[in-house]
């Protein structure tokens, strides 16, 4: 069957174990030349290769089938047939002594299979709808049109073709070169050059590979690039300006194609690219002037001239004072432990420990503190027993790490000796060190007498919250 034969005859249905009986015609070695579908040895019946060949081929290869291909892949001898109904059968036999695994690729798909030594297998594929007898090409596609053409792409569409069996797809050619084989009646061609003419044709194909005549040629010219910048934004204004932020807004620009967004610059540096006509700038310093401009952009990257600059001055920080009376003395009580901040051991020396301790009754001087304004909302915090000593982050202005000890030291104007009290919604305060921006914090969230104080990144937790009680 592998060598184009059109039929196969097995002479012997059943022979004995020595290949007989024979009546000549089997050559010198009857057993080597004649074999039956079955071998009968006493009461034992065994099936020979012919048995399986007959079974597989008669079941899967129909009358009128054509041989497609055949090869010997090592010990795997094979032959494939295409049946009149379009189905395909692949017959494989393993003539070697070991198990063989193989793969078959067909129509873009792949299948793997394993056959034991001496075994045969038949793999079949369904009809693709094509027929070996389809020799008629589809009709040429009509109605080829382009839409949505941009500087770099165009959408092509056309009317479906007809075929005696069935159209399976189309071939799109740009300037005579195939660029796509869509199965449907449209295709978006992209990656084109701007302001350039392209000629398209489309042809239809059927499953047998017959290709129709090409459609009429459609010429498409891509758009010229957008080189015109939008108009400069007008009406730049600021509102809601605080100590640290401001809301900018402006009037929309216009463009020959379309504005896609804006560029906001603060003191000449780009800070945002909003798509709309407003932006809130934040993270600003208090009581500081900033100069803003806004420009518009289109999709091609053309940028307009800048708007007229707008100068915004942020608000001043709150004046020292507020709810804190600078002449009063206060207990400072941790919200987590309920204990009072305390000059440990009534020390009057630099380096004295700042600790928490149960609040004394009557209130002791070493548990009373006064807030004395320095500048910009910061205070030095003075102990009543040792008025020269204030809360001080150990190590000076460079000591900004989490866990750095806060102790008591003579006030010398250092930024590590100044604290900003900020009242929370529940009436407690956080105290932020001026040099580090970190919060006064009871070490290890302790509730014990003698626990020390440290600075730590502000968390909003109760170990960083304190109530102040005026004496
Ligand atoms: Ca056809
Ligand atoms: Ca433009």
How many other CB atoms are there within 10 angstroms of residue 468's CB atom? 21
Ligand nearest to the CA of 212: 1
Is 208's pLDDT higher than 80? yes
Q: Taking the model in full, what pTM does it have?
A: 0.37
Of the pLDDT bands very low, low, confident and very high (cuts 50, 70, 90), residue 326 is confident
Contacts of 94 (CB under 8 A, 6+ apart): 75, 76, 100, 115, 116, 117, 118, 119, 120
> Which residues lie at CB < 5 A from ion ligand 1?
134, 136, 163-165, 206, 210
Query: 320 pLDDT band (50/70/90 cuts)?
Result: very low
Distance, in Å, from the CA atom of 105 to the CA atom of 91, rounded to the nearest integer, reads 14
Ligand nearest to the CA of 228: 2
Please state, in angstroms and rounded to a whole number, the distance separating the CA atoms of residues 73 and 80: 13
pLDDT at 321 over 50: no
pLDDT digits (tens, 9 = 90+) for 406-452: 999 999 999 999 999 988 778 889 999 999 999 999 999 999 999 99
**131 pLDDT more than 50:** no
Q: Which CATH superfamily is domain 145-221 in?
A: Immunoglobulins (2.60.40.10)
Please report, rounded to a whole number, the percentage of residues in the chain having pLDDT higher than 70: 94
Would you tell me how many other CB atoms lie within 10 Å of the CB of residue 265?
17
CB 359 within 8 A of CB 333: yes
If you count them, how many residues does the chain have? 471
Find, among 360, 334, 336, the residue nearest to 346 by Cα.
360
Q: Do domains 145-221 and 330-470 have the same CATH topology?
A: no
Mean pLDDT check: name the lowest of 87-91, 384-388, 436-440: 87-91
**Residue-range domain boundaries for the chain:** 14-125, 145-221, 237-313, 330-470
- The yes-or-no verdict on residue 317 having pLDDT over 70 is no
Residues 6+ apart with CB under 8 A from 197: 219, 220, 221
* Ligand 2 ion: residues within 5 Å (CB): 226, 228, 255-257, 298
Q: 142 and 135 in contact (C-beta within 8 Å)? A: no
Maximum separation of any 2 CA atoms in the chain, in Å: 135
CATH class of this structure's domain 14-125: mainly beta
CATH number of 330-470: 2.80.10.50
Q: Which residue in 250, 222, 359, 240 sits closest to 308, CA to CA?
A: 250
Residue 270 CA, ligand 2 centroid: distance in Å: 21
Measure 110 CA to ligand 1 centroid, in angstroms: 27
Q: 35-49 pLDDT, tens per residue?
A: 788 888 888 888 877
Give the Å distance between the CA of 69 and the centre of ligand 1.
Answer: 24
Separation of 208 CA from ligand 1 center, angstroms?
7
Query: What is the Å distance from ligand 2's center to 265 Cα?
Result: 21
Could you say which ligand is closest to the alpha carbon of residue 207? 1
Q: Is residue 354 within 8 Å of 344, Cβ to Cβ? A: yes
Closest by CA to 234, choosing from 296, 314, 301, is 296
- From ligand 2's centre to the CA of 258, what distance in Å? 6
Res 29 pLDDT > 70? no
CA of 275 to the centre of ligand 2 (A): 16
pLDDT tens profile 246-287? 999 999 999 998 999 999 999 999 999 999 999 989 888 888
Average pLDDT, integer, range 304-330: 82
Contact, 41 vs 16, CB < 8 A?
yes
Q: Which CATH number fits domain 237-313: 2.30.40.10, 2.60.40.10, 3.40.50.300, 3.30.43.10?
A: 2.60.40.10
Q: What spacing in Å lies between the alpha carbon of 250 and ligand 1's midpoint?
A: 64
String of DSSP letters for 210-261: -BPPPPPPEEEEPPPP--PPPPPP---EEES--SS-EEEE-PPP--SS-EEE
Q: Is 347 exposed, middle or buried (0-12, 13-18, 19+ CB in 10 A)?
A: middle
- Centre of ligand 2 to C-alpha 228, Å, is 4
The DSSP string of 390-421 is: EEEETT-TT--STT-EEEEEE--S-GGG-EEE
- Dist. CA 253 → ligand 2 center (Å): 11
Question: Which ligand gives the minimal distance to the CA of 302?
Answer: 2
Q: What is the pLDDT of residue 130?
A: 46
**Angle, CA 163 vertex, CA 159 and CA 165 arms, to 5°:** 140
Q: Does the pLDDT of residue 85 top 80, yes or no?
A: no
Report the mean per-residue pLDDT for the chain.
Answer: 90
Examine the pLDDT at 32 and tell me if it is beyond 70: no
- CA 426 remoteness from chain centre: 42
> Cα dist. 419→44, 273, 324, 379, 380 in Å?
105, 37, 13, 5, 6
| Ligand nearest to the backbone CA of 211 | 1
CA of 310 to the centre of ligand 1 (A): 72
């Amino acid at each position: 069957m592998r060598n184009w034969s059109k039929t196969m005859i097995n002479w012997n249905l059943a022979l004995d174990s020595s290949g007989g009986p024979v009546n000549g015609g089997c050559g010198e070695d009857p057993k080597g030349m004649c074999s039956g579908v079955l071998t009968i040895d006493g009461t034992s019946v065994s099936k020979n290769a012919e048995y399986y060949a007959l079974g597989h081929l008669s079941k899967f290869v129909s009358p009128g089938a054509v041989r497609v291909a055949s090869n010997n892949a090592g010990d795997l001898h094979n032959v494939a047939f295409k049946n009149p109904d379009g189905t395909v059968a692949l017959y494989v036999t393993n003539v070697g002594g070991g198990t063989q695994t193989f793969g078959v690729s067909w129509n873009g798909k792949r299948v793997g299979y394993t056959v034991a030594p001496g075994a045969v297998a038949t793999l079949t594929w369904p009809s693709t709808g094509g027929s070996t007898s389809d020799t008629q090409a589809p009709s040429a596609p009509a109605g080829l049109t382009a839409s949505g053409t941009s500087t770099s792409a165009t959408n092509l569409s056309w009317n479906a073709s007809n075929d005696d069996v069935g159209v399976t797809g189309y071939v799109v050619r740009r300037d005579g070169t195939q660029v796509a084989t869509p199965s449907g009646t449209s295709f978006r061609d992209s990656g084109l050059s701007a302001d350039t003419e392209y000629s398209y044709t489309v042809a239809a194909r059927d499953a047998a590979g017959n290709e129709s005549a090409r459609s009429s040629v459609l010429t498409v010219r891509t758009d010229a690039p957008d080189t015109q910048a939008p108009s400069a934004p007008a009406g730049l204004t600021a509102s809601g300006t605080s100590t640290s932020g401001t809301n900018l807004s402006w009037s929309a620009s216009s463009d020959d194609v379309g504005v896609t967004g804006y560029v906001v610059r603060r003191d000449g540096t780009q800070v945002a690219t909003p798509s709309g006509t407003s932006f809130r700038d934040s993270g600003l310093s208090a009581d500081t002037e900033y100069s803003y401009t806004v420009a518009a952009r289109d999709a091609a990257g053309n940028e307009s001239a800048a708007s007229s600059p707008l100068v915004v001055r942020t608000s001043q920080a709150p004046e020292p004072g507020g709810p804190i009376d600078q002449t009063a003395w206060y207990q400072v009580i941790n919200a987590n432990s309920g204990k009072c901040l305390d000059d440990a051991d009534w020390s009057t020396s630099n380096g004295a420990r700042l600790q928490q301790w149960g609040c004394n009754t009557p209130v002791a001087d070493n548990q009373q503190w006064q807030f004395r304004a320095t500048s910009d909302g910061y205070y030095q915090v003075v102990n009543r027993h040792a008025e020269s000593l204030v809360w001080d982050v150990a190590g000076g202005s460079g000591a900004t790490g989490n866990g750095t000890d806060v102790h008591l030291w003579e006030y010398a104007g250092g930024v590590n000796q100044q604290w900003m009290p900020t009242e929370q919604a529940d009436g407690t305060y956080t105290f932020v060190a001026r040099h580090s921006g970190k919060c006064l914090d009871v070490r290890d969230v302790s509730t014990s007498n003698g626990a020390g104080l440290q600075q730590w990144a502000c968390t909003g937790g109760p170990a960083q919250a304190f109530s102040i009680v005026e004496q």
